[in-house]
Amino acid sequence: MVVLLLACLLPYYLFALLRLHNPWPRVFLAGLCWIAGVQIKVVGERPKGSAFLIANHVSWIDIPAIAEATGSA
C-alpha cells in the first residue's frame, strides 16, 4: 500500500499543478481494493446524472470499495 501511495503521489501533484482532471485518487483507491482482495458486486441500476451518496461506514475498507464501485473519490 505504501508503494502504491508513493507511485500515485507524484502524478497526483503534477495533475493538480497543471489543473488537469485528476484521476489519481480513484486509481489509488481502486489499487487499495485490489491489494486488500476486495471483491465488489454491484446490484441494481446506477443513478443517471449526478448523485449524492450517503453510506454508513463499517470499516476503513468501505471508502476505497465505494470509490471503486461508483467512480467517486
Separation CA 50–CA 33 (nearest Å): 24
pLDDT, residue 37, reads 94
Look up cell 486509481; give the residue.
Answer: 27
Q: Which of 53, 55, 54, 9 is nearest to 28 (CA)?
A: 9
pLDDT digits (tens, 9 = 90+) for 47-56: 788 888 777 7
Separation CA 7–CA 20 (nearest Å): 18
Enter the pTM of the model: 0.76
pLDDT, residue 8, reads 95
Cβ atoms of 54 and 72 within 8 Å: the answer is no
Q: What is the mean pLDDT of the chain?
A: 88
pLDDT digits (tens, 9 = 90+) for 27-42: 999 999 999 999 988 8
